[in-house]
């Protein structure tokens, strides 16, 4: 089956960025130039550029053109996506290290977050998600066993906790808090970063229609990650 033209254009752009031919802030050809080069419509070329922009690979400036974005990986501040999909959409390799998967007793902050009694059993997982072999996110997650009884039986090397939870308890609500932190020695080891590396931490609670499903702490190396989003406001 032939590769769609917009996918060919995306692969072409990503390949030139990864080889260094197009460096950070380099200006790309126009939609019309891509359309002519690949023998497709301007709308097809625009789709490729738009998808790479949405994934943080490119930046578009009205009247100026399209440019290679800063080389930090970017996640959306406004949407909750599967980190494996984010990495693959950038054309990069995804891998994961599962560090822990167990049942633990809920201490007060976790019990409150999940709406449980202190000391209640909860499921606990620790994973490191990697992009191109480099640690991008440390995911520490507590899960309500009453709502997700089979969590500990999952193989998170083949699907992420987010993917699994989305299948068995579709997300209806989420709240998160974002802050800069100084990484502990343990986090430094897990993310393989120096003591001087600042980190970005996201604390996130998620609900399904049955109640609070999980509470997660997501920690990212500041030099490899950023959050972004795009808001459009109606004219009034």
Residues 11 and 123 placed together within one structural domain of the fold: no
- Per the domain annotation, does 233 fall within a domain? no
Q: Which of 68, 89, 114 finishes a domain?
A: 68
Q: Please identify, among 41, 68, 95, the residue that sits at the C-terminal boundary of a domain.
A: 68
Least confident of 34-38, 79-83, 174-178, 225-229: 225-229
In a domain, 234, yes or no: no
My answer on whether 59 and 123 are in the same domain is no
Does residue 39 fall inside a structural domain?
yes
Q: Which of 45-59, 77-91, 106-120, 141-155 is predicted with the least confidence, judged by mean pLDDT?
A: 77-91
pLDDT in tens, 200-235: 999 999 988 888 999 999 999 988 776 655 444 555
Q: Are 47 and 12 found together in one domain? A: yes
Main-chain phi, psi angles of 108, to 5 degrees: -50, -50
DSSP assignment of the chain, as one string? -PPPHHHHHHHHHHHHHHTTSS-TTPBPPPHHHHHHHHT--HHHHHHHHHHHHHTTSEEEETTTEEEEPPSSEEEESSS---HHHHHHHTT--EEEEEEEEEEEEPPHHHHHHHT--TT-EEEEEEEEEEETTEEEEEEEEEE-TTT-TTGGG--TTTS-HHHHHHHHS---EEEEEEEEEEPPHHHHHHHT--TT-EEEEEEEEEEETTEEEEEEEEEEETTTEEEE--------
Supply the pLDDT for residue 25.
Answer: 80
Q: Do residues 98 and 79 both lie within one domain?
A: yes
Query: 57 with 97, same domain?
Result: no
Give yes or no: residues 180 and 114 share one domain: yes
- The verdict on 45 and 95 lying in the same domain is no
In this prediction, residue 43 has a pLDDT band, given cuts at 50, 70 and 90, of very high
Domain limits for position 92: 73-228
How confident is the model at residue 231, as a pLDDT?
44
Return the higher-pLDDT residue of 236 and 37. Answer: 37
Q: Mean pLDDT throughout 159-164?
A: 93
What pLDDT score was predicted for residue 22?
87
> 50 pLDDT exceeds 80?
yes
| CATH number of the structural domain spanning residue 26 | 1.10.10.10
Both 164 and 127 in one domain: the answer is: yes
Q: Find out whether 98 and 156 touch, Cβ atoms under 8 Å.
A: yes
The domain total for the chain is: 2
What's the confidence (pLDDT) of residue 142? 97
* Residue 20 CB contacts under 8 Å (≥ 6 apart), including other chains: none
Q: Is the pLDDT of residue 78 over 70?
A: no
- Check whether residue 92 and residue 39 sit in a common domain: no
Instruction: Please identify, among 68, 89, 109, the residue that sits at the C-terminal boundary of a domain.
Output: 68
Please say whether the beta carbons of 213 and 207 come within 8 A.
yes
pLDDT at residue 75 in the model: 53
Specify if 235 maps to a domain. Answer: no
In this structure, are 141 and 30 located in the same domain? no
201 located within any domain: yes
Q: Assess whether 106 and 163 both reside in one domain.
A: yes
107 part of a folded domain: yes
- Predicted local confidence at residue 144, as pLDDT: 95
**What mean pLDDT do residues 166-185 have?**
88
**Is 147 found in the same domain as 31?**
no
Position 215 in a domain: yes
CA distance linking residue 142 with residue 146, whole number of Å: 12
Task: Report whether pLDDT(141) > 90.
Answer: yes
The whole-chain average pLDDT of the chain stands at 86
Does residue 188 form part of some domain? yes
**Mean of the pLDDT values across residues 113-139?**
93
In this model, does residue 178 exceed pLDDT 70?
Answer: yes
89: CATH:
3.40.1410.10
């Amino acid at each position: 089956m032939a590769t769609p033209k917009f996918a060919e254009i995306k692969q072409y752009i990503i390949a030139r960025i990864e080889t260094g031919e197009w460096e950070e802030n380099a200006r790309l050809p126009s939609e019309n130039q891509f359309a002519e080069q690949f023998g497709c419509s301007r709308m097809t070329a625009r789709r490729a550029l738009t998808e790479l922009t949405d994934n943080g690979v490119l930046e578009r400036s009205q009247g100026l053109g399209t440019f290679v974005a800063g080389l930090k990986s970017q996640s959306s501040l406004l949407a909750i996506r599967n980190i494996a999909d984010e990495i693959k959409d950038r054309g990069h390799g995804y891998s994961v290290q599962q560090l822990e998967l167990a049942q633990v007793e809920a201490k007060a902050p976790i019990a409150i977050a999940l709406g449980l009694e202190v000391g209640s059993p909860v499921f606990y997982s620790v994973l490191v998600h990697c992009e191109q072999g480099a640690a991008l996110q440390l995911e520490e997650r507590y899960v309500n066993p009453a709502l997700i009884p089979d969590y500990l039986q999952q193989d998170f090397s083949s699907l992420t906790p987010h993917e699994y939870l989305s299948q068995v308890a579709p997300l209806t609500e989420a709240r998160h808090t974002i802050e800069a932190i100084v990484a502990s020695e343990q986090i430094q080891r897990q993310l393989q970063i120096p003591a001087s590396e600042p980190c970005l931490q996201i604390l996130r609670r998620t609900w399904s229609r049955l109640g609070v499903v999980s509470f997660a702490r997501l920690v990212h190396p500041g030099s490899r990650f950023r959050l972004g989003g795009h808001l459009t406001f109606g004219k009034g």
